[in-house]
Amino acid sequence: MRHFLNINKLSTKEMLLIIKQGHFLKKNYGKKFLEEKKILAMIFEKPSTRTRVAFEVGMKKLNGDVVILDQHESQLGRGESLQDTIKVLGRYVDIILYRGSDEKILYEISELSDVPIINGLTNNSHPCQIVADIMTLEEKFKDINKLKISWIGDGNNVCNSWIEAVNHYDFKLNISCPEGCFPSKKTLKESKSSHVNLFDKPSEAVKNADVVITDTWESMGIKKDKQKLKKFEKFRVDSELMLRTNKNSFFLHCLPAHRGCEVTDEVIDGKNSLVWDEAENRLYAHQSILLWCLENF
Ligand code: CP
Ligand code: NVA
């Protein structure tokens, strides 16, 4: 069964195929349909706008349909286990997306599910986002393998999935995070170490960068910590920081953005911001993931 659990669970061939199919879907919109109607169930234990809408619209446009379960309107909110829910859903639907906290639970449900599971974000990873992000960079650069990409901010889920992508490509990834917010040693150990460099100072990490990426300082479901937040003040992506990058560098952010915190209006609304293309590409990236999981290519 083809689960889409993490970037490092895909072979490089599979990763490149999913990206290629994403571009194809964007260019030849409407030419690809599911051979027979399939239903996607989505379980959200955390909020979502892009993931939810892009998967729903994407699935409907492929000729499929969607059901959505959240904590409040299903028996999950009254304590029915996720595991039991997954077993039941497998009798009704063809594929399931799960957004939750614990990565271990994601793997657990993939073991017992009768249908493919898509990782819609956990505290540790966000692989769907990376497919859209890579598509977005490929639209701007001839060869993304030659890029220097800088990650500034919190080294958690989206950053971890970027680190996993390094194993499929040849780009360099510079990561700068406040003390205590760097990606885990385990994640770093599993990546191509020659291609990932850690920096204490954002100004050093963005030197000659082609792409700067950031994310919220306060991720969903993570306990608010004022002391920790203070440490992020020096990690704001502003025009001054962008001046240190290569001349034609671009800015990415998975969104939602907290303007004035991790990024200034000037940068996110600037001419080198790709965030709206990036959000648009979620649609095609997710259609591609659905078609791959459902073995349509
Ligand atoms: N980037 C992203 O996953 O957005 P949502 O939380 O709105 O789905
Ligand atoms: N790191 C963010 C990503 C949101 C898409 C979060 O987990 O809230």
Give how far Cα 279 sits from Cα of 171, 196, 275, Å. Answer: 22, 25, 6
91 catalytic, yes or no?
no
Q: Please tell me which residue in 282, 286, 287, 293 is annotated as part of the active site.
A: 282
Domain presence at residue 237: yes
State the average pLDDT over residues 13-20: 98
The pLDDT of residue 30 is above 70: no
The pLDDT of residue 31 is above 70: no
- List residues near ligand 1 (CB under 6 A): 48-52, 121, 129, 254-256
One domain for residues 156 and 243:
yes
Q: Are 38 and 95 in contact (CB under 8 A)?
A: yes
Q: What is the pLDDT of residue 72?
A: 85
Domain presence at residue 1: no
Q: What is the pLDDT of residue 260?
A: 97
Average model confidence (pLDDT) across the chain = 96
Domain presence at residue 54: yes
State the average pLDDT over residues 167-179: 97
- Confirm or reject: Cβ of 157 under 6 Å from ligand 2: yes
One domain for residues 166 and 96:
no
Q: What is the pLDDT of residue 123?
A: 97
pLDDT band at 70 (very low <50, low <70, confident <90, very high): confident
- Confirm or reject: Cβ of 128 under 6 Å from ligand 2: no
Q: How far is the CA of 194 from the centre of ligand 1 (A)?
A: 30
**Smallest Cα–Cα separation from 191: which of 13, 7, 20, 14?**
7
State the average pLDDT over residues 248-266: 98
Q: What is the pLDDT of residue 250?
A: 98
Q: How far is the CA of 211 from the centre of ligand 2 (A)?
A: 19
Return the sign of the alpha-carbon dihedral for residues 183, 189, 191, 196.
positive
Ligand nearest to the CA of 258: 2
One domain for residues 134 and 271:
yes
pLDDT band at 32 (very low <50, low <70, confident <90, very high): confident
253 catalytic, yes or no?
no
Cα angle 148, 194, 214; round to 5 = 40
Give the separation between CA 110 and CA 90, rounded to whole angstroms: 11
State the average pLDDT over residues 103-118: 98
Give the separation between CA 123 and CA 125, rounded to whole angstroms: 6
CATH code of residue 205: 3.40.50.1370
pLDDT band at 224 (very low <50, low <70, confident <90, very high): confident
Please write the tens of the pLDDT for every residue from 45-55.
999 999 999 99
State the average pLDDT over residues 126-138: 98
pLDDT band at 73 (very low <50, low <70, confident <90, very high): confident
One domain for residues 69 and 156:
no
- Greater pLDDT, 90 or 228: 90
Q: How many domains does the chain have?
A: 2
Indicate which residue's Cα is closest to atom 1 of ligand 2: 219
Q: What is the pLDDT of residue 197?
A: 97
Percentage of the chain exceeding pLDDT 90:
93
The two tokens of residue 260 are: 């004035």
Q: Are 250 and 211 in contact (CB under 8 A)?
A: yes
One domain for residues 262 and 153:
yes
One domain for residues 38 and 173:
no
177 catalytic, yes or no?
no
One domain for residues 146 and 258:
yes
Q: What is the pLDDT of residue 193?
A: 87
One domain for residues 111 and 23:
yes
Q: Are 123 and 184 in contact (CB under 8 A)?
A: no
Which residue range is the domain that position 137 belongs to?
A: 129-278
Q: What is the pLDDT of residue 71?
A: 84
The pLDDT of residue 228 is above 80: yes
Q: Please tell me which residue in 129, 133, 261, 293 is annotated as part of the active site.
A: 129
Q: Are 3 and 117 in contact (CB under 8 A)?
A: yes
pLDDT band at 151 (very low <50, low <70, confident <90, very high): very high
pTM for the complete prediction? Answer: 0.97
